[in-house]
């Protein structure tokens, strides 16, 4: 086989640590790795940097910003984008965390607002600048809330002696009456207590209806005002799914046959990862990395088997468990019936995320950064790199 990998970015991104770029722990280059370097040893694989604009399934052509690509077999793995659930203006007025640019922008906003608060004489305005609302109590929202609190209380409190950090308000909101829905109830409670111990205010059981310059309007008539709104309310299939004439499931995901991962009614096209929904959608697999990785491995094995006339077993997902950290010494993890939290959970979280990073150099540098942060409570990447006057919530 000859493989062509098409991506609009020239790097692979380890999304689980994006929140650490947004909270000054890591530099973007530590969680992103050049695709060409990953493929260097695969002699029959080539990379093409291009944006895919459409797919002609009948004509077997991928339409890209750099010209069309003909194929015999197609694997769609375009991932997901932030889901704003149709709330008007939310994309402009809130920060998201799905790519490196957004992580840089969010870090810049946090640091810029501290600089502005330090220079502000009006106490009301200072309090407003230091208010953060995070919507979405899933692992991403919880991890970001914990890391933001630690950045402010451990690091910025020393950088900004003119700011009283007790004035900072971090609110984490969710429609559910708990955080971390995928986890068992006792672990959710552990996470909630850990967040509260870090000064994060939980607003649970609330639904966001609208957004304006001052913050969020809630469905129950209440408000959640904050100068910085971070939207971590969910994801939906990448827009490429909209350009396909193929069956769709929840969150706009492309429906695929649960056994073969083929698009419904096609024998030459597959979809895997966040963009795909297996089966009829009665119990869809979560949009998580292990699902994407196992899907990729299965489709590769299936294509190889088909070409050599062999049969291959149906796809079956092996749940490798799930984990989230709330910060220093605090994490929750569950693998089947095994549940871990606290210091042991935190060590497990560190270990797993370290080994999953691509590249030995990245692992070493990330380990050094984590150790530096742990022992000296110091985060090196306190840099304002995107001074854009038209940041979310400002216009
Ligand atoms: C902040 C965050 C934290 C997360 N934490 C965890 C975690 O702790 N554990 C876990 O298991 N999962 C986590 N996830 C989810 C996990 O990252 C995804 O499930 C996984 O990356 C999905 O893999 P994928 O290959 O389907 O998509 P992606 O990894 O998103 O890759 C899609 C690729 O397609 C490219 N692309 C998209 N559209 C086009 C186009 N039109 N043209 C060209 N290229 C295109 C993109 O540039 C991207 O490189 C997290 C996600 C986020 C955002």
Question: In the predicted model, what is the mean pLDDT of the chain?
Answer: 95
- Confidence at residue 282, expressed as pLDDT on a 0 to 100 scale: 75
> Ligand 1 within 6 A of 234 CB?
no
Give the separation between CA 179 and CA 189, rounded to whole angstroms: 8
Tokens of 105: 């922008």
Give the pLDDT confidence of 125-148 residue by residue, as tens digits: 999 999 999 999 999 999 999 999
Non-local CB neighbours of 151 within 8 Å, separated by 6+ positions: 23, 24, 110, 379
Given a cut of 60, whether residue 389 has pLDDT beyond it is no
Whether pLDDT at 279 is above 80: no
Q: What is the pLDDT of residues 45-67, one digit of tens each?
A: 999 999 999 999 999 999 999 99
Determine the Cα–Cα distance for residues 229 and 208; give it in Å rounded to an integer: 12
384 lines ligand 1 (CB under 6 A): no
What sections of the chain are H helices per DSSP?
Answer: 18-22, 35-39, 90-93, 100-119, 123-129, 139-150, 157-159, 185-197, 289-307, 342-356, 360-376
240 lines ligand 1 (CB under 6 A): yes
pLDDT grade for 44, boundaries at 50, 70 and 90: very high
What is residue 360's predicted lDDT score, i.e. its pLDDT? 86
pLDDT in the model for residue 388: 60
What is the position in ligand 1's atom list of the atom closest to the CA of 97?
1
Mean pLDDT of 283-309: 95
Q: Is the CB of 79 under 6 A from ligand 1?
A: yes
For ligand 1, is residue 7 a contact (CB within 6 Å)? yes
Mutational pocket test of ligand 1: of 96, 105, 288, 354, the residue with most ligand atoms within 8 Å of the beta carbon: 288
The predicted pLDDT at position 256 comes to 96
Question: Model confidence over 361-372: pLDDT tens digits?
Answer: 899 999 999 999
Q: Predicted confidence band at 387 (pLDDT cuts at 50, 70, 90)? A: low
- Contact in structure between 213 and 228 (CB atoms under 8 Å): no
* Token pair 């089947």 in the structure block, residue: 336
Indicate if the pLDDT at residue 395 is higher than 60: no
Q: In the beta sheet, which residues pair with residue 48?
A: 6
- Return the ligand 1 atom nearest residue 296 CA: 25
Collapsing DSSP to helix, strand or coil, 174 comes out as: strand
The answer, yes or no, to whether any atom of ligand 1 lies below 6 A from the CB of 9, is yes
Q: pLDDT for 75-89, tens place per residue?
A: 999 999 999 999 999
Cα of 48 vs centre of ligand 1, distance in Å, is 18
The residue assigned the tokens 């919530």 is 393
- Of all protein residues, the one whose alpha carbon is nearest to atom 34 of ligand 1 is 78
Alpha helices in 324-385 (DSSP H): 342-356, 360-376
Dist CA 119 CA 111 (whole Å): 13
143 is a catalytic site residue = yes
pLDDT on residue 391: 64
Nearest CA to ligand 1 atom 36: 78
Looking at ligand 1, which atom is closest to the CA of residue 9? 47
349 and 330 in contact (C-beta within 8 Å)? no
The minimum-distance atom of ligand 1 relative to the CA of 98 is 53
Residue 338 has pLDDT above 90, yes or no: yes
Which residue in the list 115, 120, 125, 143 is annotated as catalytic?
A: 143
Label residue 3 by pLDDT band (50, 70, 90): very high
pLDDT of residue 90: 96
């Amino acid at each position: 086989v000859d493989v062509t990998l098409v991506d609009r970015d020239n790097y692979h991104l380890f999304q689980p640590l994006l929140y650490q770029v947004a909270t000054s722990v890591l530099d973007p280059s530590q969680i992103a790795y050049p695709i060409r370097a990953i493929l260097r040893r695969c002699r029959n694989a080539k990379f093409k940097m291009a944006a895919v604009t459409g797919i002609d399934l009948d004509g077997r052509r991928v339409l890209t910003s750099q010209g069309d690509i003909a194929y015999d077999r197609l694997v769609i793995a375009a991932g997901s984008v932030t889901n704003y659930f149709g709330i008007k203006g939310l994309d402009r007025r809130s920060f998201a965390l799905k790519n490196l640019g957004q992580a840089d922008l969010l870090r810049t906003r946090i640091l810029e607002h501290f600089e502005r608060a330090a220079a502000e004489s009006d106490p009301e305005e200072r309090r407003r600048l230091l208010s953060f609302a995070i919507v979405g109590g899933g692992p991403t929202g919880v991890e970001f809330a914990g890391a933001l609190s630690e950045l402010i209380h451990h690091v910025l409190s020393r950088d900004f002696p003119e700011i009283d950090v007790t004035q900072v308000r971090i609110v984490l909101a969710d429609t559910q009456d708990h955080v971390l829905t995928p986890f068992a109830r006792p672990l959710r409670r552990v996470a909630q207590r850990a967040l509260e111990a870090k000064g994060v205010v939980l607003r649970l059981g609330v639904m966001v209806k609208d957004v304006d310059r001052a913050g969020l309007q809630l469905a129950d008539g209440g408000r959640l005002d904050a100068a910085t709104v971070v939207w971590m309310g969910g994801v939906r299939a990448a827009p490429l799914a909209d350009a396909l004439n193929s069956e769709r499931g929840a969150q706009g995901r492309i429906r695929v046959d649960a056994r073969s991962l083929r698009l419904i009614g096609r024998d030459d096209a597959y979809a895997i990862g966040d963009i795909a929904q297996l089966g009829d959608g009665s119990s869809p697999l979560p949009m998580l990395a292990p699902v994407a990785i196992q899907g990729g491995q299965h489709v590769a094995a299936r294509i190889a088997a088909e070409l050599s006339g062999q049969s291959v077993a149906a796809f079956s997902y092996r749940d490798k468990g799930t984990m989230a950290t709330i910060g220093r010494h605090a994490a929750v993890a569950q693998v089947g019936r095994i549940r871990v939290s606290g210091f042991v959970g935190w060590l497990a979280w560190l270990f797993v995320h370290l080994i999953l990073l691509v590249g030995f150099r990245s692992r070493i540098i990330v380990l050094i950064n984590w150790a530096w942060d742990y022992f000296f409570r110091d985060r090196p990447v306190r840099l304002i790199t995107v001074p854009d006057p038209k940041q979310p919530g400002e216009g």
